Structures are given as structure tokens and as C-alpha cells.
Amino acid sequence: MAELHRLDHKIPGGEQGGGDIAALENEALDAYSRVVTSVAARASRSVVKIEVFRRDRRGELRPAGGGSGFVFTPDGFIITNSHVAHGGAKFLVQTLDGETYHGILTGEDEHTDLALLRIDARNLSPAVLGDSRSIRIGQLAVAIGNPYGFQYTVTAGVVSALGRSIRARSGRLIEDVIQTDAALNPGNSGGPLVNAAGEVIGVNTAAIASAQGLCFAISVNTASFVAGKLIQQGVVRRSYLGIQAQTAPIYGALARFHAIETVNAVLVLGVEEQSPAQTAGLRIGDVITHFDGHAVEGVDALHKLLDENAAQRTIRLQLLRGRDLLEVFVIPELA
């Protein structure tokens, strides 16, 4: 009977068992709340509200919506979306402390839906950037922005999927996009998606209006690379292969057999007609491991290598096709 008493004592829903479960649930909830509030407090210092004005047919400035952004450098560079800034004639940038500055469009890249503004401000708090290669499905994702003008709104969820592709206004696919169920609404565009450490892992860019929990962010590695190019030259010049691709892991045994040291590579999902990739003989299912001797650990890495210097050069690609390791030569074109 004593043993039966002990078993009965542990039955969920009993007075003490139910209390223990409730205590555990409260403890878990409190831990989750502490993480989210801590992340929001740290990351919000870098988030800005952007108001955009465009000229009408008579040349007069009219409010034309806005969005969000975050401080990239302490001397006033702000990352946001191209679709937020595009066509703007005047930008007002408001920081967390209520200060408002006039923004200047330094440059934009429609192919990745990213833009860079500059404000004349000092001692700004730049966002801490994470590494999109370290993101895992299921990890915490917190979005901060200004949906419908409600400043510094925080929503939380998880990273739902990686390696998504969405189409930019230019018609080109944005690769390696992060999918999250953290709620995004008009006005969140350009704001940061951050992890549990308060590091930016993505730039919030889109949501599917007819669905729930289908929201997307451009990976921070892509955003950092594009922002650097916009600071240097105001535009992003790049080469073009003509493939649709995503980051994918290399099967361990296959990597060991061919002495491939990288864990991830680029999986070809599609090859465009009459493109350099088709001319070179690339196929759907090929896994690109090296580009001109450089290891390619994902789509972000491939984007960096496909700069203007790669155009019109014969590039040696190393790739896996099934179990075979092959070399293919391709001549990228200037996009």
C-alpha cells in the first residue's frame, strides 16, 4: 500500500502533482518572459522609426507611409528595406529617445530589398549583429518595429524554416531567407529580427497577408554584406550565374570520402534558361562546394563571391553530383 500511495502521490492532476506542474509551467513562462524582455530592452535601443515622404504630380511632398530600421554603425548609417525607402524624397528618422533626424538615402539594392540611410547623429547604439549561418530551426526569434505606426512593438516566435526564397520587386529571387512566426505587419519592414542573445539575425521584410505565421526576414549576413557595399560605392554590382539555390548540409560520409572540410554548401534548386549556369552544364540537385578555389558554405558566401570582379572570368566550380565530385567551368555575367 505504501508503494501505491507513492504512485498515487505522483499522479498528474492530483493536488500536489497539479501544483508541481503549475509551478514548472510558471517557472518556464517566467524564464521565457525574462529572455524576451531582456532581448527587447537591449535591441530596442538600435531600432528607429522611418517616415517617408514622396512628391506628388505637382512636386509637393506628401506622406507616403514608412517603416522601421536599425542602426548599423554609430556614426549614423541605418539599415532598412528598399521597398520602404524607394522613391522617397524626404525621410524622417526617429530614435528611441524621441530625437528626430533628416535621413539621406545612401543607396539601395532592390535585388535583396535592402537600403541604407544616413542621419547626422552621434553616439548612436549600433545593433549587435549575429551570424545567420548559426541559426537553427526552432530557436527564439523576436521582431521589433513600428507596425501601423505603433512604435517599438515587440512580437516573439521561433525560426520556422531556413533557406527560403522570396521574389524581390526587381524580379530576382532573394535567397536564404529566414521564415518566422513572429508576427509582422505593415511598418515592421526594415526592423530587426533578433535571437535570444539580442543579436540581429535578419531584416524583417515580408509577410503573406492571407496566411498566419508566415513571415520572412533577409539574413543578417546578406544585409551586412550589402550595407558594406552601399557605404563604399552606393550600389551593389554583382555577377550572375542563373541558379536558384539554398544552403544545405553535406552528407557526412560523402564529405569524408571526398575530403571536403566544409559542413554546408549550396544546393541548386533551379537553372534558368540561357544562363551561364545552363551553358556550363549545371543541373538541379548539384551541390556546389567551391567557387574559384574558395569554400562555399552557403548562399550568403556564394553571393559574396559573385561580385563584379567575377564577371566575364572563367570560374572553376567544384560540386557534388550524386556521389561524384566534379569540376565545372562557368563564366558569370554582370547582372
Calculate the alpha carbon distances from 81 to 20, 27, 257 in Å.
Answer: 47, 38, 43
Using DSSP bridges, classify how beta strands 100-109 and 173-180 pair: parallel, antiparallel or unpaired: unpaired
Q: 65-101 burial by CB neighbour count: b if 16+ within 10 A, else e?
A: bbbbbbbbeeebbbbbbbbbbeebebbbbbbeeeeeb
- Residue of 44, 68, 189, 219 marked catalytic: 189
Active site residue 113: yes
Task: Report which residue type is found at 145.
Answer: G
Give the C-alpha separation, 254 to 267, whole Å. 15
Query: Comparing C-alpha atoms, which of 144, 143, 98 is closest to residue 121?
Result: 98
C-alpha to C-alpha distance for 11 and 172, rounded to whole angstroms? 58
C-alpha cell at 167: 521574389
What DSSP character marks residue 46? G
Which amino acid, residue 290? H
Catalytic residue (one of 109, 113, 286, 300)? 113
Cell match 509577410: residue? 207
Residue 227 C-beta-side C-alpha neighbours within 13 Å = 24
Biggest alpha carbon–alpha carbon distance for the chain: 90
Q: Catalytic annotation on 83?
A: yes
Which DSSP category does 171 fall into?
Answer: S
Q: How many CA atoms lie within 13 A of 5 on its CB side?
A: 2
Q: Which of 44, 68, 82, 83 is catalytic?
A: 83
Q: Who's near 16: CB < 8 A, 6+ residues apart?
A: 9
Residues 6+ away with beta carbon under 8 Å from 103: 50, 78, 91, 92, 93, 117, 118, 119
Active site residues: 83, 113, 189
